[in-house]
Amino acid sequence: MFNLILFGPPGSGKGTQSDNIVAKYGLVHLSTGNLLREEIAQKTPLGIEAKSFMDKGQLVPDEVVIGMVDSYFEKHKNAVGFLFDGFPRTLAQAKALDSLLELKKNEIAAVLALEVSEEELVKRLLNRGITSGRSDDINEDVIRKRFAVYSNETKPVAEHYKKLKKYHSIKGEGTVQEIFNFICEAIDKKLNLM
């Protein structure tokens, strides 16, 4: 299996680039954000609980997210690899993911981290709020709260993978195609070393 994490702050383009990556490399896309939004749309108990956190710009509790990832794995037993998008977002999630993969005698090949300035991120998210109506993108205070959560809870995930020498920075500003080219370069380099 070839497993990648696409990492970066809210609005850095993880969802956008994931579509291109899975189309080119045949990986299974695991976006915790998309899975949570599906639960919300179906008004499941998990979705109703998740919405109350997401609308405030907070993270959904680890045990909820990890349980969801575990059952997604079960549904995709024959995957050639996974692209993790928006997961892990806390150190506890990263450690849970490492253990789940270890059980399958597998590991993360690389963490690709999209680097984008905060000013550009706010612009993108407010713009998406207008076009998609996503409730966590409409209010600038909620967006700023998500950045604070990212700094406090998600940045330690970067440190974890830096120590394991799996972390690669990618320039996340430019056109979608330019950024995709940087991502492909990093992936192809990794694949050639395997």
Q: Could you list the active site residues?
A: 14, 89, 128, 134, 146
Element at 27 (helix H, strand E): none
Helix (H, G, I), strand (E, B) or coil at 8: coil
Which one, 10 or 109, has the nearer CB to ligand B4P? Answer: 10
23 to 20, 33, 66, 103: CA distances (angstroms): 5, 19, 25, 27
Which one, 65 or 187, has the nearer CB to ligand B4P? Answer: 65
Helix (H, G, I), strand (E, B) or coil at 133: coil
Residue nearest to ligand B4P (CB): 33
Which one, 149 or 193, has the nearer CB to ligand B4P? Answer: 149
Which one, 78 or 131, has the nearer CB to ligand B4P? Answer: 131
Q: How far is the CB of 28 from ligand B4P (least distance, A)?
A: 16
Q: Phi first, then psi: give them for residue 63, nearest 5 degrees.
A: -65, -30
For residue 192, count other CB atoms closer than 10 A to its CB: 7
Q: How far is the CB of 137 from ligand B4P (least distance, A)?
A: 7
Q: How far is the CB of 183 from ligand B4P (least distance, A)?
A: 11
Bridging pattern class, strands 28-31 and 3-7: unpaired
Q: For residues 66 and 162, give the distance between their C-alpha atoms in angstroms, rounded to a whole number.
A: 22
Q: How far is the CB of 66 from ligand B4P (least distance, A)?
A: 9
Q: For residues 145 and 112, give the distance between their C-alpha atoms in angstroms, rounded to a whole number.
A: 24
Q: How far is the CB of 64 from ligand B4P (least distance, A)?
A: 8
**Contact set with ligand B4P (CB under 6 A):** 8, 10-16, 32-33, 36, 53-54, 59-60, 65, 86-87, 89, 93, 124, 128, 136, 146, 175-176, 179
Which one, 134 or 166, has the nearer CB to ligand B4P? Answer: 134
Q: Phi first, then psi: give them for residue 158, nearest 5 degrees.
A: -60, -45
Helix (H, G, I), strand (E, B) or coil at 83: strand
